[in-house]
Amino acid sequence: MSLDNAVAIVTGGAQGIGFAAAQRLGERGARLVVADRSGAEAAARALRESGFDAIAVDVDVSQPEQVAAMAQRAEAHFGRIDVLVNNAGIYSSLKPTPFEQLTMQDWRQVLDVNVIGVFLACQAVLPAFKRAGGGRIVNISSGVAFKGNPWMAHYVASKGAVISLTRALATELGAHQVLVNSVAPGFTLSDGVHANPTLVEGVKGPSLRGRVLARDMVPADLVGAIEFFAGAQAAFITGQTLVVDGGAYFH
């Protein structure tokens, strides 16, 4: 599968890692669906101004009807769906919280977006993938699932679930030529992270010191892995999680 004219949905594509992924997929010839709960239209406009074919869909990935409508709009506009990048997630806005103080509400908020959102989006695109004869799902998990970072048990668990779901879906959907892989980023200076100076202050230094490649990580560092899983070079790879973090966690 070449990315030329492939139709790619990027959830959470309005900024940060998702926007960088959309840009790279566009550079490789994909037609883009920027799916986000805020800022989708502005991001799609910016992509169009860069010469890419892009539409916006306003969607909260935790809402089943909205996610179904996202898939319908993408297929109605472009005629097919080939790639789904499940990138939308709650991370940088989370307040570090000791396990004993986490509430049910904290857990549900994170799991609704980071896990159920992925489930809903995968299920919504599947009929279009089958009609197209196959498809690619790239789930954005996180290195925290391997490290087990403290004070964010709900987030760590959500990203562990994304990795497990990647494996289960790869097994179940392989017969339909749907390949499902995951990219696990390290601490990345995304737009969301930049918007939380306390997070940057607390995590940037230790992350950098924990890497073999001792520099800050930015969204552009992830796009190669996302493009790889979406493209022809990964045609016989499924169920895998690739850690992209400058050499912090060896998985």
Ligand X SMILES: NC(=O)c1ccc[n+]([C@@H]2O[C@H](COP(=O)([O-])OP(=O)(O)OC[C@H]3O[C@@H](n4cnc5c(N)ncnc54)[C@H](O)[C@@H]3O)[C@@H](O)[C@H]2O)c1
Residues near ligand X (CB under 6 A) are 11-12, 14-18, 36-39, 59-62, 87-92, 113, 117, 140, 142, 185, 187-188, 190-193
Nearest CB to ligand X, comparing residues 1 and 217: 217
The distance of Cα 137 from the centroid of its chain, to the nearest Å, equals 9
- Does the annotation mark 155 as catalytic? yes
- Residue with Cβ nearer ligand X (13 or 231): 13
Give the nearer residue to ligand X in terms of CB position, either 1 or 117.
117
The closest residue (CB) to ligand X is 192
Catalytic residue among 91, 119, 146, 155: 155
- CA torsion 193→197→198→204, rounded to 10°? 60
Q: How many CB atoms lie within 10 A of CB 111?
A: 18
Determine the residue type at 110: V
Show the CA angle centred on residue 93, arms to residues 87 and 98, nearest 5°: 110
Question: String of b and e for 218-244 (b: at least 16 CB within 10 Å)?
Answer: ebebbbebbbbbbbeebeeebbbbbbb
User: Would you say 50 and 32 are in contact if contact means Cβ atoms under 8 Å apart?
Assistant: no
Closer CB to ligand X, 19 or 132, in the complex: 19
Instruction: Name the residue with tokens 């004869």.
Output: 133
Catalytic residues: 155
